[in-house]
Chain A
Amino acid sequence: MTGTFVGMPAFPSAARAALADTQLRHNLAHATGVIRGKRAAVVGEVDNWEELRLAGAAVKERALLALDTQLVRLEESLTAHGAVVHWARDAEEANRIVVGLARAHEVDEVVKVKSMLTQEIGLNEALEAAGIAAWETDLAELIVQLGGDLPSHILVPAIHRNRAEIREIFARRMGEVGRPAPADLTDEPAVLAGAAREHLREKFLRARMAVSGANFAVADTGTLVVVESEGNGRMCLTLPEVLVSIVGIEKVVPTWAELDPLLRLLPRSSTGERMNPYTSTWSGITPGDGPQEVHVVLLDNGRTRALADEVGRQALRCIRCSACLNVCPVYERTGGHAYGSVYPGPIGAILNPLLRGTGDPQTDALPYASSLCGACFEACPVRIDIPEVLVHLRSQVVDGHREDRVPKPEAVAFRGAGWAFGDARRLDRAERLSSLAGRLLRRRGRTSLGRLPGPGSAWTDARDLPAPPTESFRDWWRRTDGGERP
C-alpha cells in the first residue's frame, strides 16, 4: 500500500481485500485485543469514570459552541507570546503556508511529530513536490513512512505490521534515507527501538525546522499541548530553530483548568495507561531557549462544515484516543486502510463524511461501514454517540439520492417496504406469498433456502437462510384465536 488515501475504493471492496489477508487479521485481532484489555482495566480503576466522561464532553462542547470567540482569543494570546498565527481554510492553503515558511528559511528537510492533520492535508507530498524532505519521528509513523505505507490506526499507525515486518523495513530502508540500521538488527522490540533512536537522533540534531500538530490549544493562555509516549516530540519541539504547528480549529479548549478532565481521560482511553509519559506545552517563544520562531497554522478543512451539522458536530469533540477503533468489531477485521482516510474506524466513518460532505461513493459508503453495535459509544471518553451520527449520515446519503433519475434498487425496495408497512393488510398479502413459498419448500423437505441468486446471494453465499414458515404468526393468531382454538 503506497501513496495517498485519495481515490481509494469504497469500504466494502477495500474491506474484502483486507479480510483476505490472514496475517493482517491476525495482527489486528491480537493488537486491538491487548489494548482493549489494558484500557478496560485502567478505566475500571476510576470510580467516577462516567462523571469524568461527562466533564470531558462538556469542556469540548463549550469550546465548540463558542468556537469563533475562542479562536480569536487563542490568536490574541499566541500573538502576545510571540507566535505568528496563520489561518488556513483548506489543505491547499495550509500546505502553501508551510512550504512558504520552509522556503523562506531555505531548508530542504523538516522533522515532524504528532500530526494526523498533516496526513489529512497531504503535507508530506506537498513538501516533497517542493523538494523538501519531511521525516516522521514518531516510531510508528517512521515505520509507516519507511515502509511506503499508510497509517492504519490513530494511535498505533503501524498496528497492521508485526515485528518481523518492521525489522525487514528498517534493514532495507533506513540506509537509503539516513543512518542505516545496524547489521545485527533483530526483531526484539528494544533492538528495533534502539535502531530507530540512532537513526532519528541524527535527524533531530541536523534539522532547522520542525512541523508538529497539537492535542489541545488553550485559548486563554495561548498554550499548545502535545501528549506523547516516546519523547521524540519533545526533541522536535525544542531543538530546531523554527517550529510550525498545524492545529485543527476544533482543538481549542477555553482555559488551562479545563484540560484537567481531558488529560485524565486521554491516556486511559488510548494507551491504557494511567498517565501519559510526556506532556509538552509551549506558548510562543522563550528568548534564548527553544525555537526562536514559532508559527501556528489554524486549519478549518471542513471543520466548520461539520460544526454546522447539529447532530454531527459532536464528532468534533473527538480527542483522537482511538478507543472506538480498538473496540470496533468491524475495524478489528478490516483494519484502517479500508476506511480510505487517516481517520479510520468508527470515528473515521463519521468524521470523513462530515468533513468532506457526503456525495461521492467513498464517503457515502463510510456511514454504512458499521453494524451499529454501539461498542464505540460505550468506549468514547467524550461520549460521542457514534451510532446516532452514523444513522443521521446514512439519511443524508439517502436524501442526496432522492432526486436521482434512476433510483437505486435499494431505494425502490425500501419505498416498497415503507408502503407495505403502512398498512397491515398489505403486509398480510406479502406474507401470504412467503408462506406459500414456505409450504412448497417444506413439502420438498427443505428447511433452509440454499444459495439464492441476485442480491440474496450476499446473504446465502456464506450463510443458510431458513425457509419461510408455512403460516405467519398473524395467520396463526387468526386461525386459532391466539391459540385458544386448536
Chain B
Amino acid sequence: MRVALMVTCVNDAMFPGTGQAVVRLLRRLGVDVDFPQAQTCCGQPMVNTGYLDEAVPAVRSFVRAFEGYDAVVTPSGSCAGSARHQHRLVAERSGDPGLAAAVAETSPRTYELSEFLVDVLGVTDVGAYFPHSVTYHPTCHSLRMLGVGDRPRRLLERVRGLRLVDLPKAEECCGFGGTFALKNADTSVAMGSDKARHVRETGAEVLVAGDNSCLMHIGGVLGRGRAGVRVLHLAEILASTEEQPA
C-alpha cells in the first residue's frame, strides 16, 4: 500500500514534531510512508474565509501531490474534512472538469490519522507508552464534519500507562475557528477561556486533540494563564514509547 503523509501547512511550519510523530508511528506499524514534496495546504483557510478562487491553487497542488497514492493520511481532522467536503466546492467553482475529477479521486482516499489507524490498518493498540493523565478534546471538525466518533478514545485507552480523564463539556467548540479567532477575537477568547477552565478542572497533566490549530488556541489561553497543562497532538502520544517518550 502506498501511503502519503499530508502534514498540513500549519504542522509543516509550526508543529513539525507532529509530522515526525506520524512518520515514527506509521513506520512502527509497518507502513511505508512517503512525504510528497509538492504538497502545500488543503485550502481550508481560504474556503472558510470565503476566498474560494484563492483556494483553487491549493486544491490543485493537493490533488497533484497525492495522485496515485492508495491513502493520504493527515494529523488534522479539520484538513481531512476540508479535503473530503470542501474540495468539491472549490473544483466546481474553478470550472475545470479535470480538477473536479481529480478531487473525486483523492477525497475519499484522504483519512484523518485515527480513522486510518482504526479503519484502514485495523489497529487500536499501537504499542504506545505514555504514563500521564490525559484529557481529550474532540475538535469540532473531527467530531461533526468527519464523524471520527470514539476512534481517538479507543486508541488512547490502549496506550500503556495513560490515564484518560473526562473533559467537561468536551463537545463544545474551543473558539478557534480559523480566521474567527482574529475576526471575532473577543468571542473566540471568551470561548477559549471556558474551554481552558474545563481543562484545568480535570486536573489532567496533558490535553490531547487531533488538531494542532485548536490546541494552539487552547494552549495559548492556558499559557497566558500559566496553567501548567501541556497540550499534545494525538499523534505524539501514540508515537510515544519508553525509549522515545513524548
Contact = CB atoms under 8 A, between A and B. Distances in A.
Contacts, number: 206
Q: Tell me if B's interface is mostly helix, strand, loop or mixed.
A: helix
Interface residues of A, number: 66
A30 to B, nearest CB: 14
B14 interface: yes
A472 interface: yes
B210 to A, nearest CB: 15
Contact of B61 (A373, A395, A421, A463): A421
A19 B57 contact: no
Given A15-B186, A464-B223, A418 B46 contact: yes
A471 B175 contact: no
B180 A375 contact: no
Contacts of A410: 49, 179
A483 B23 CA distance: 8
A371 interface: yes
A466 B20 contact: no
Interface stretch (B117-125, B129-137, B159-167, B212-220): B212-220
Contacts of B101: none
B152 interface: no
A472 B40 contact: no
A415 interface: yes
Contacts of A473: 7, 11-12, 16, 19-20, 35
Contacts of A395: 50-52
B29 interface: no
Interface string A432-464: 001000000000000010000001001101111
Contacts of A448: 223
A472 B40 CA distance: 12
B173 A373 contact: yes
30 contacts: A12-B187, A15-B187, A334-B187, A368-B180, A375-B173, A395-B51, A395-B52, A397-B50, A398-B51, A414-B45, A417-B45, A418-B51, A421-B9, A422-B61, A423-B57, A434-B13, A458-B181, A459-B185, A461-B189, A463-B223, A464-B220, A468-B13, A469-B17, A473-B16, A473-B20, A476-B16, A476-B20, A477-B37, A482-B23, A483-B27
Interface in B185-239: 185-192, 216-217, 219-221, 223-224
Contacts of A303: none
5 interchain residue pairs of minimum CB distance: A422-B57, A371-B177, A394-B50, A463-B220, A418-B54
Contacts of A367: 50
B56 interface: yes
A398 B54 CA distance: 11
Interface in A6-22: 11-12, 15-16, 19
Contact of B54 (A414, A465, A483): A414
Contact of A472 (B12, B33, B51): B12
Interface of B: 7, 9, 11-17, 19-20, 23-24, 27, 33-35, 37-41, 43, 45-58, 60-61, 65, 86, 89, 140-141, 143-145, 171-173, 175-192, 216-217, 219-221, 223-224
A336 to B, nearest CB: 14
A464 B23 CA distance: 28
A424 interface: yes
B221 A462 contact: yes
Interface string A365-383: 0011111111101100000
A42 interface: no
B24 A373 contact: no
A309 B39 CA distance: 34
B190 A371 contact: no
Given A422-B60, A469-B15, A372 B216 contact: no
Best-surrounded residue of B23, B38, B185 (most CB of chain A within 10 A): B185
Given A471-B16, A474-B12, A421 B43 contact: yes
Contact of B191 (A333, A431, A459, A478): A333
Contacts of A371: 140, 173, 175-177, 180, 188, 191
A330 interface: yes
B191 A421 contact: no
Nearest to B218: A463
A427 interface: yes
Contacts of A369: 184, 187
A118 B20 CA distance: 59
B35 A461 contact: no
Given A372-B140, A424-B39, A398 B50 contact: yes
B14 to A, nearest CB: 6
Contacts of B48: 372, 391, 394
B144 A483 contact: no
Nearest to B140: A373
Nearest to A426: B40
A476 B12 CA distance: 10
A398 B49 contact: yes
B183 A455 contact: no
Contacts of A461: 185, 189
A208 B128 CA distance: 76
A310 to B, nearest CB: 12
A49 interface: no
Nearest to A11: B184
A191 B121 CA distance: 64
B35 A464 contact: no
A361 to B, nearest CB: 13
A30 B171 CA distance: 17
A462 B14 contact: no
A448 B9 CA distance: 19
A330 B172 CA distance: 10
A315 to B, nearest CB: 17
A419 interface: yes
A459 B192 CA distance: 12
